[in-house]
Amino acid sequence: MTEVLQLDPECPQHKAIERAAAIIQTGGLVAFPTETVYGLGADAMNETAVRRIFEAKGRPPDNPLIVHIASRGMLDLVANDISEKAERLVKKFWPGPLTLVLPRNSQIAPSVSAGLRTVAVRMPKNEIALGLIRASATPIAAPSANASGRPSPTSASHVLDDLGGRIDMILDGGTTDIGIESTVLDVSSDAPAILRPGWITREMLSEVIGPVDRSASAEELRRSPGTLHRHYSPRARVVLIERGSLKRIEQLCREHLKQGSVGYIGHTPVDIDDESFHYIPLRERADDYGSSIYASLRELDQTSPRVIIVEGISEEGEGAAVMDRLRRAASEVIVND
């Protein structure tokens, strides 16, 4: 049985947090909101508990987890050799949607790092998450709380759909703000590199620490195995149209409609009146796409479409993070015009 507790996101009820913390302390699994997406948490120092995360999600064991902390002091339990650049980033962006990859402290449960010498760590900007970590008095390992391969959950009901019955508790703090997972930055060596783009952009990072590598090389991707796995996908096939005219999008929708029901997520309104056509309009802005894209993919999935067509947005600023996730969700990418 998975218990769901409703919490006030601004001022979470102590009693509920205490109960959730007791589960973490005894090796159980608790899903909780962060400012990005919901995480599935376990005590990061307890190997048995951490292994349960992999089981519940069906996560490949070579994909390491992010450790969540609530204070700068906790960082020393998790990581070693924190560089001056890393310290500057911590001061500037924590709490917030930035994950730092640092040399691992050997106290951390081995499975957290999936055999790597490094550990990913962040301080979430969410009162429920911070309250849970403090009350548990231990760093909490937490990947996104979806079944492996599915879109990350941005509400408690998404978590329940994927993991109901497989985890002990869900702390429901409503819909998450950003909706896209944190930026992952490797600062374990002298050349900082972004392993996963997110809301903290390369430009924002460069302002604080100087040059940052944009895209991960093949070698760096091997260092972040999660980026190699198929990700963020609904059950339906996703076709991403990176840049398309209204005419092209309509044509594509009509072609697929001949063979079954079609979902469409985009900022270009399409004039198709057909009960097999399901359209979720979004504004052409990274924040609109970010906060709604996973929920929209899940919603359209429920109509069992033959295909979900998604229109892309500009890659500028936070748009890069959105496009990264869309490309990973897609089994076909159309670059048009």
Contact status, residue 28 vs residue 49, Cβ threshold 8 Å: yes
User: Is residue 36 involved in binding Mg ion (CB under 5 A)?
Assistant: no
> Beta partners for 237?
307
User: Looking at beta carbons only, is 143 or 244 nearer to ligand TXA?
Assistant: 143
Choose between 147 and 257: whose C-beta lies nearer to Mg ion. Answer: 147
Region of residue 137 (phi > 0: left; psi between -120 and 50: alpha; otherwise: beta): left
Which H or E element spans position 41?
Answer: strand 39-43
Side by side, the strands of the sheet bearing 3-6 are 3-6, 169-172, 30-32, 39-43, 140-141, 66-68, 118-122, 98-103, 183-186, 193-196
With CB under 5 to 8 Å by kind, the binding choice for 329 among ligand TXA, Mg ion, none is none
Q: Smallest distance, Å, CB 143 to Mg ion?
A: 5
By beta-carbon proximity to ligand TXA, the closer residue of 94 and 277 is: 94
Closest contact distance (angstroms) between CB of 31 and Mg ion is 13
Decide which of ligand TXA, Mg ion, none touches 20; Cβ closer than 5 to 8 Å per partner kind. none
Q: Which two tokens stand for residue 5?
A: 């507790």
State the minimum distance, in angstroms, from the CB of residue 152 to Mg ion. Answer: 5
CA–CA dist 80, 69 (Å, integer): 15
How many whole angstroms separate alpha carbon 304 and alpha carbon 33?
A: 28
Provide, rounded to whole angstroms, the least separation between the CB of residue 303 and ligand TXA.
Answer: 26
Beta carbons of 243 and 250 less than 8 angstroms apart: no
Q: Which stretch binds Mg ion (CB under 5 A): 139-147, 169-177, 197-205, 286-294?
A: 139-147
Task: Work out the angle at residue 93's Cα, subtended by the Cα atoms of residues 89 and 94, and round it to the nearest 5 degrees.
Answer: 105
Q: Is 144 an interacting residue with respect to Mg ion (CB under 5 A)?
A: yes
Q: Could you say which of Mg ion, ligand TXA, none residue 197 binds, taking C-beta under 5 to 8 angstroms by partner kind?
A: none
The partner in contact with residue 101, picked from Mg ion, ligand TXA, none with C-beta cut-offs of 5 to 8 angstroms by kind, is: ligand TXA
- CA separation for the pair 204, 317 (Å, rounded): 9
Angle, CA 51 vertex, CA 50 and CA 52 arms, to 5°: 90
Rounded to a whole number of angstroms, the minimum distance from the CB of residue 220 to ligand TXA is 8
Check binding of 138 to Mg ion (CB under 5 A): no
Residues that bind ligand TXA (CB under 6 A): 34, 36-37, 39, 63-66, 97, 99, 101, 113, 116, 118-120, 124, 142-144, 181-182, 184, 195-196, 223-227
Choosing among ligand TXA, Mg ion, none, which partner's interface includes residue 103 (Cβ < 5 to 8 Å by kind)?
Answer: none
Q: Which CB, 181 or 242, lies closer to ligand TXA?
A: 181
Q: What own/partner pairs with CB < 8 Å and gap ≥ 24 does 208-217 have?
A: 208/88, 208/89, 208/92, 208/93, 209/85, 209/88, 209/89, 212/185, 217/193
Q: Give the CB-nearest residue to ligand TXA.
A: 226
Between residues 9 and 60, which has the closer beta carbon with respect to Mg ion? 60
- Of 74 and 252, nearer to ligand TXA (C-beta) is 74
Q: Residues interacting with Mg ion, by CB under 5 A? A: 144
